[in-house]
Chain A
Amino acid sequence: MTSHEQGIERIRRLAQHAERRIRLSRALRVGAKALCVALVVAVVDVALRKLGAIHEHLAIGVLALAGAGVLASAGVAWSWALPARAGARALDRFHGLHDRLASALAFIDRPADARTPLMLAAIEDAIEAAPGARPVAAVPIAVPRALVAAGGLAGVLAVVMLFEVRKHIPVAHAKTIDPVEMAPDDLDDVKDFLKQLQQRDQSDDTKAAVEEFNKLVDDIANKRLDRTEAFRRMEELEQKLLTGSEADKKSLEEQIGKIGEELKKAELTRPAGESLSEAKLDEAKDAMHDLAKKLREQGGAIDKQKLEQMRESLKKAAAEAEKRQQELEQRRQELADDILKRKQKMGDGGSDEEQSLLKKKERDLERLDRELDQQKNSGRQLDRLDRELDKAAEDLMKDLGMTADDLDKSAEDINHIQQQEMTQEQKEEMRQKLEEMRQLMRQQGQGGKGQIMRLQRFGRMARGQSGQGGQQQEGQGQGQEGQGQEGQGQDGQGQQGQGQQGTNGQKGQGQQGQGGQQGQGGQGGQGGQGGQGGETWVLGPNGEKIIMLSKGSGGSGSGSQSGQGQGGNGGQGQGPPGRGWGEGHDPKVQGAATNPKMGTEDTQVQGADTGQGGSRSQVILGAAERGFASRGYQKVYTEYHQVAEESLAKDDIPGGYRFYVKRYFQLIRPREE
């Protein structure tokens, strides 16, 4: 090979070397970019796999594809065609050879006979210049910028691979409530009351009621109850205190009376029987003790016939309750059978008359069921007494001493029943406490402390005091509660129980008349010292307490005003209801007999008042602030206005002030909404 050919070969090698470096550089550049893309794909792929969104095989496949993609991209970049004489031109450019090498290669590739002398000269010129050419310097292989990004993405991939996917376990958030709040002092007051109540009476019923009440107070104190739930619990507790007690008591008294009637038939047990008949349990207890003592002391001196008579009485008395219960059950069963027969007979049809009769019988059945329940309730209380009386009757055949012991036990049972009766009063006290709590919660209900403050300010302003004395004591000298006497009926044809109404803001508490034709009204309670302002409670037309905002300058009240109660509906007032209800009817009432063929009968159903509404003071405050147009205000106004009218009519208001009272009520009359 001549030096000329060697020179040409050198130029070719140099150019090829440079081209290889160009290809390598390009492959690296493209490969780095492809690597970035592949790493992004890999990150997503691994993340999806970690999350369980794709299957493992698919994830591996995607990773393999990504890797193959990188290699393929680099390979394509390597093999992609370069511009003509790219290597030689790169050398020319870098070394400033003015295309000597590239042009020489172009001339070399021509046929030999097509080469001009200048071409040959150019080739030789290139051969001379070639030794100085350095492809490494002319085509540097720089680290692609994308490789830096690829490094970062590789880090991200590593982090993603290290991450452990944690399953999201939803945390159950406790439902928050808006707890009803009561002042700690109020709660302490209620607790003290319940504590005293429990110390005073250890009966099971009282214990259970107090326990439930305590639980309610604790829940309120610990803010576990919202307003609705608190009122519901109070309503529930009140219902428990009310339901059953009245009817059960009457049933118990009735059965005791029947036992007394039986015992009255024997000479020895007559005192006890009379006491029981008159529901004087204390006297009946003493009479039983006396009889037991007499049997122990006199023993055989007592006439056998009297003893036999007493045994018979005791036995009958013991059997009386069971007998009545059996009668009731028998009647109920007969009635149920009758209803069943009628239903089977009527099928789906039946005349209106038959339907009406069937419904009447069904109502009777329901009534009997209730009566039976009451019988059973009272029967449970009398059960021990019945057993002791029965045992006493049996022991009378054997030993008088044993009989005396049995009678002593009977006396204790009567005492126990008496104790049970007393718990009714405790329940009423609890119910009143509940009502007080309800009032407090009403006041705190919507406006909270701010509302209370405004109400207090409103109250002071209503009393003519300045609004600055926010901390002044109000209502000094609380009036003592008057205690109404129980009305007594005489011959079971009572129409009206009469209650008493306290004056000067005292609570007169009338009792329901019991069977009296003209029940004697209870005596009004003694009025206490009149308060110097504050809210005063008076009785409304329906026996509701109504707050009166007055200066309260009255002294001690006499409480001698006669109350007017509705027969059978309970007397006016807050006292415990009278015993029993009026029986019979007013002979003056001689209306036409009910026509059974009358058409439909309108029935009004009144919704249960849960007591959650605003208190009267809130209603009045709202009316003062927003106008006298609300429905609640109309009700309050009507009540107050009625009381005011009554007071005016009864000359309770001095003549000189009557105009002002009337003018005042005219000014605050309800407006149209």
Chain B
Amino acid sequence: MTETEAVRQQVTLFRERIDKLRAEIAKSVIGNREVVDGVITCMLAGGHALLEGVPGLGKTMLVRTLAETLSLTFSRIQFTPDLMPADILGTTIIDDSQSGGKVFEFRKGPVFANIVLADEINRATPKTQSALLEAMQEHRVSIGKRTHVLDEPFVVLATQNPLEMEGTYPLPEAQLDRFFFKLHVPFPGREDLHQILDLTTGSGITPRTAVLDREAILQMQQLVRQVPVARHVQDYAVRVLQATHPDGPDAPDLVKRFVRYGSSPRGAQSVLLAAKIKALFDGRFAASVDDVRSAALPAMRHRVLLNFEGEAEGIKTDQVIEQILKTVPEGKAEKADKTATAN
């Protein structure tokens, strides 16, 4: 078997696993295909997702279902104002040792899981929120003089309610940037609602089985990293990123007028990784411009900061990014030559 054939098989297997996972999740989560794909993408990219939606749309259900179908450890943290960092990370206690003496023993917090549900993350204080920073970025936790490495895959799936702003602490930009995707959970359609009601108000309980284990997920994560990206595709991702900045070369008027600060390079990283995963979802071997375009919205919407005028005008970052995707050309002649030489 040649390498190419082996890769082809890997890609095929990847696609089959994803399809299975989607099908299993769909047993409990009706609709929301894009949100489900987004959560899976975050998991495969090794990133974290921020789910935003009004209460009752199945955010927690989605995360719980994902955890159950993946045979991964799952923990849920309900963020409240009195939640302390130790409540998340864990704490050191004095315990009796087998020799009869007293020893300090570290009790792991809920963050030590493969999938962590940070429910209503914006209700905790910034101090508590920041306790997740290291875990999310470095996949490890430092307590005292000891550092604890988190098991891979480590995915934080946070939720927040956009309506109840009283008594909440909006996430700081630094923490927002740690999230791979920000996913909007939409209100289900009529047909989806029928299905939800049928599913949840009946007597039967649909059992969920684990379709992917930890090893499979790690393999899939490795495959994702191997997906090649042509220079012109990557160039497009870069130009989209630059266009989110008011002083960027291709920035449209909307950006120049309403954006205070554009996306960080983490945005482009997220876009490109998501594009690769999207290509694999489709059974392709390389990411395309269309993949970049489809990943731009969830990967950048929380990384673009509006100025006061934009906030006052009620501008949404989704509008800004959509405008950027419309205006930024796929290729430019003057850059084509450079890319040709680079290639």
Within 8 A of B (CB), among A68-83: 80-83
Task: Indicate if A85 sits at the interface (CB-CB under 8 A).
Answer: yes
> Residues of B contacting A84 with CB < 8 Å?
231-232, 235, 331, 335-337, 339-340
Within 8 A of A (CB), among B287-343: 287-291, 329-337, 339-340, 343
Task: Indicate if B174 sits at the interface (CB-CB under 8 A).
Answer: no
**Given the contacts A82-B336, A99-B233, A119 and B228 also touching, CB distance less than 8 Å:** yes
Is A81's CB under 8 angstroms from B284's CB? no
Cα–Cα, bound, A110→B231 (Å): 11
Is B340's CB under 8 angstroms from A122's CB? no
Cα–Cα, bound, A109→B232 (Å): 13
- Kindly count the residue-residue contacts between A and B in the assembled complex, taking CB atoms under 8 Å apart: 104
Cα–Cα, bound, A107→B4 (Å): 14
Is A118's CB under 8 angstroms from B232's CB? no
> Residues of B contacting A85 with CB < 8 Å?
230, 232, 331, 336
**Given the contacts A81-B333, A83-B332, A89-B330, A99 and B4 also touching, CB distance less than 8 Å:** no
Task: Indicate if B286 sits at the interface (CB-CB under 8 A).
Answer: yes
A118-134 vs B, CB cutoff 8 Å, 1 = contact: the mask equals 11111011000000000
Is A103's CB under 8 angstroms from B286's CB? yes
Among B288, B334, B335, B343, point to the contact of A110 (Cβ < 8 A).
B343
Is B336's CB under 8 angstroms from A106's CB? no
Is B8's CB under 8 angstroms from A121's CB? yes
Task: Indicate if A98 sits at the interface (CB-CB under 8 A).
Answer: yes
Cα–Cα, bound, A98→B334 (Å): 23
Task: Indicate if B261 sits at the interface (CB-CB under 8 A).
Answer: no
Task: Indicate if A117 sits at the interface (CB-CB under 8 A).
Answer: yes
Residue of A nearest to B279 (CB): A98
Residue of A nearest to B227 (CB): A118
Cα–Cα, bound, A102→B284 (Å): 13
Task: Indicate if A100 sits at the interface (CB-CB under 8 A).
Answer: yes
- Nearest-CB distance from B59 to chain A (Å)? 31
Task: Indicate if B116 sits at the interface (CB-CB under 8 A).
Answer: no
Within 8 A of B (CB), among A84-108: 84-86, 89, 92, 98-100, 102-104, 106-107
**Given the contacts A89-B330, A103-B230, A122-B285, A81 and B336 also touching, CB distance less than 8 Å:** yes
Main secondary structure of the interface of A (DSSP, over half): helix
Residue in A106, A124, A125 whose Cβ sees the most chain B Cβ within 10 Å: A106
> Residues of A contacting B235 with CB < 8 Å?
84
Interface size on B, residues (CB 8 A): 37
Cα–Cα, bound, A106→B232 (Å): 8
> Residues of A contacting B282 with CB < 8 Å?
98
Task: Indicate if B271 sits at the interface (CB-CB under 8 A).
Answer: no
> Residues of B contacting A110 with CB < 8 Å?
343
Residue in B6, B229, B333 whose Cβ sees the most chain A Cβ within 10 Å: B333
**Given the contacts A98-B282, A99-B290, A125-B284, A118 and B336 also touching, CB distance less than 8 Å:** no
Is A81's CB under 8 angstroms from B230's CB? no
Is B288's CB under 8 angstroms from A103's CB? yes
Residue of B nearest to A85 (CB): B232
Cα–Cα, bound, A107→B337 (Å): 16
Task: Indicate if A116 sits at the interface (CB-CB under 8 A).
Answer: yes
Within 8 A of A (CB), among B246-270: none
> Residues of B contacting A102 with CB < 8 Å?
230, 232
Cα–Cα, bound, A98→B226 (Å): 18
Is B11's CB under 8 angstroms from A116's CB? no
Is A106's CB under 8 angstroms from B285's CB? no
**Given the contacts A84-B339, A103-B228, A103-B233, A118 and B286 also touching, CB distance less than 8 Å:** yes
A-B contacts, 18 of them at CB < 8 A, read: A81-B334, A83-B335, A84-B336, A86-B331, A89-B331, A98-B291, A99-B233, A99-B286, A102-B230, A103-B228, A106-B343, A107-B286, A117-B7, A118-B226, A121-B7, A121-B8, A124-B4, A125-B285
Q: A83-B335, A85-B331, A120-B7 are in contact. List 7 more A-B contacts (CB 8 A).
A: A82-B333, A99-B288, A103-B230, A121-B4, A121-B11, A122-B284, A124-B4
| Chain A interface residues toward B at CB < 8 A | 80-86, 89, 92, 98-100, 102-104, 106-107, 109-110, 116-122, 124-125
Q: Which 10 A-B pairs have the closest CB atoms?
A: A83-B331, A99-B288, A84-B336, A106-B230, A122-B285, A117-B3, A103-B230, A98-B288, A122-B286, A117-B7
